[in-house]
A and B are shown apart, each in its own frame.
Chain A
């Protein structure tokens, strides 16, 4: 944003610093719970970042994104169950399986648009859910406990909470940089063009179907990686992690944080999960507050947290470019 300091950038920077320093606090305060919670937040933020790529920038309203969490997670879980504990084997399989699923689902779903697309991605994700819930050998509905976390080379030990947290954070930041680089590339401009006007992009000679499919596969693969991390974080995988309401949670994170903004999904993930923690501390029936809150965000705060932060501050002059900006 041309070096103009705005409130949002300050908040984003502060959040990043806080995330980087968090294990120090956890160590000093002896607060392991917060570290575990934030590991989870960081991993889900990564899933939200990947969803934002297709939802925020590409305008593809996928309602089946949690499927990749499950596929990536089960790739790790099943391989660990069968005795393959090396991360060098598990993670590529997780990525490849997610990419393949995204390719098949995307190839079919992208033939349609609008509501059809929402419902079809939703239905295919449910199909994946039922298939995995039907795998009796791997626990079926009850899920699968992972005995050993993915093993990598010597100094890196995923069993160590702090190391694992930093690995997740590093991968999240890498994913955000990747998305940022991607959307500012020629490819990303085409993708954003299809969001505004697909017909016009096709008239300009872009094979938009192929562009969108590639984008869809990238997002799915990235989310598969988040799934592999999530499996390691929880030491457990179950079909519940890919139930359709989980996809809804991911959409909430993206929209709550601010669609089509690189930091938005991170804001959203932190806000939603922190809100869940706080509300569930207040009342057992916390969703009765969260539901209407969501309604209010939809009705009155379309730009999400990112949009609200952009509106604060005297430095902001005009609204130009805010939609495309990082």
Chain B
């Protein structure tokens, strides 16, 4: 039971982390109609920045804050130099151009930080574990990750639904030309949205940094999960991304921890040991296939932003 609760929390935490990535992707797609494969590169850059800045400043909070700001700036620069030229183009162009960006960023990071991974130590106050229920304790760091991501989700909701900028973002998503014609600086708005998406990806990256190694190509695996989430949730829908992210986080985490046991009940031990890893990594894709059979446009297709 204790383990089950812990795994559920892990699932929520992983799901929320994926939400940060998927939210940026889905915002950029919903508003600029841009497919950004290089989103994973910004995740990686965020982690590298954090590892560097934390080491420089000696402060975890200051270092990570600087890293988020730096990733935001990198995102805005990328938007101005490259992405801006891709709006209104074919999706295939987006795919190719951002694939080129991935190659560039991977090599750039190798050039600056070298081919070996970095590690980012946690400060002592985050290394403890907290008793959340009698008899159940949970890592303080993972708990704080849940808190931060929930805070960001709430911030996004308020930003998009309750502020003037959010209103413009929503208006830009439904009719770009009209918003521009009404005198809104749509270019600046797009740059800001792209920067915001990048900062979210960077935040996700730096939060994973202490758990995993900071290494080249770290964004390339997780970005596929973010794609799956945007597809399940409905491309362009932040709410859909949230629901789908939690769903995927749960299915992936619980599948990995309980599927081997469940298979052992049906199959022989040997067969279960062979099938379990393959099957548990298939689970989320099967989930996606099921969602697509029922709703080809995703759970919350366009409109519900």
Which positions in A face B, CB cutoff 8 Å? 55, 61, 63, 108, 111-112, 114-116, 118-120, 122-124, 126-127, 130-131, 134-137, 244-245, 248, 251-252, 255, 285-288, 290-295, 297-299, 302
Contacts and interface: CB of A to CB of B under 8 A. Distances in A.
B110 A285 contact: yes
B104 A252 contact: no
Given A108-B293, A119-B231, A134-B277, A298 B96 contact: yes
A290 B107 CA distance: 10
A123 B288 contact: yes
Contacts of A127: 281-282, 285
A135 B271 CA distance: 11
B111 interface: yes
27 contacts: A61-B91, A111-B292, A112-B296, A119-B230, A123-B227, A124-B289, A127-B282, A127-B285, A130-B278, A130-B281, A134-B277, A134-B278, A136-B277, A248-B102, A251-B92, A285-B110, A286-B107, A288-B103, A291-B103, A292-B104, A294-B96, A295-B97, A295-B101, A298-B93, A298-B96, A298-B97, A299-B97
B35 interface: yes
Tier of interface size on chain B: 35 or more
B99 A294 contact: yes
B164 interface: no
A115 B97 contact: no
Contacts of B296: 111-112, 116
A15 B105 CA distance: 34
B235 A115 contact: yes
The 4 closest A-B pairs by CB, nearest first: A291-B104, A294-B100, A291-B103, A130-B281
Contacts of A111: 292-293, 296
Contacts of B101: 291, 295
B44 to A, nearest CB: 14
Contacts of A291: 100-105, 107
Contact of A288 (B95, B111, B274, B278): B111
B224 interface: yes
B292 A287 contact: no
Nearest to B81: A295
A296 to B, nearest CB: 9
B101 to A, nearest CB: 6
A114 B107 CA distance: 30
Contacts, number: 125
Given A248-B99, A251-B92, A251-B95, 8 more contacts: A115-B235, A123-B231, A127-B282, A130-B281, A135-B278, A290-B100, A291-B107, A295-B82
Contacts of A61: 91-92, 95
- Considering residues A119, A287, A290, which has the most beta carbons from chain B within 10 angstroms of its beta carbon? A119
A273 B215 CA distance: 26
Given A111-B292, A126-B224, A251-B95, A287 B111 contact: no
A208 B296 CA distance: 17
Q: Give the interface SS of chain B, mostly helix, strand, loop or mixed.
A: helix
Nearest to B231: A119
Contacts of B278: 130-131, 134-135
B297 to A, nearest CB: 8
Interface string B23-44: 0000001000001010000000
B200 interface: no
Nearest to B91: A115
B288 A298 contact: no
B104 A287 contact: yes
B108 interface: yes
B285 A118 contact: no
Nearest to B100: A294
Interface in B96-132: 96-97, 99-108, 110-111
B100 A288 contact: no
A298 B86 CA distance: 9
Contacts of A131: 278, 281-282
A108 B111 CA distance: 41
B288 A245 contact: no
Contacts of A119: 227-228, 230-231, 235
A165 B62 CA distance: 59
A103 to B, nearest CB: 14
Given A116-B296, A118-B91, A130-B278, A285 B288 contact: no
- Considering residues B93, B100, B101, B274, which has the most beta carbons from chain A within 10 angstroms of its beta carbon? B100
Given A115-B35, A287-B104, A291-B107, A122 B227 contact: yes
Contacts of B35: 115, 118
A112 B292 contact: yes
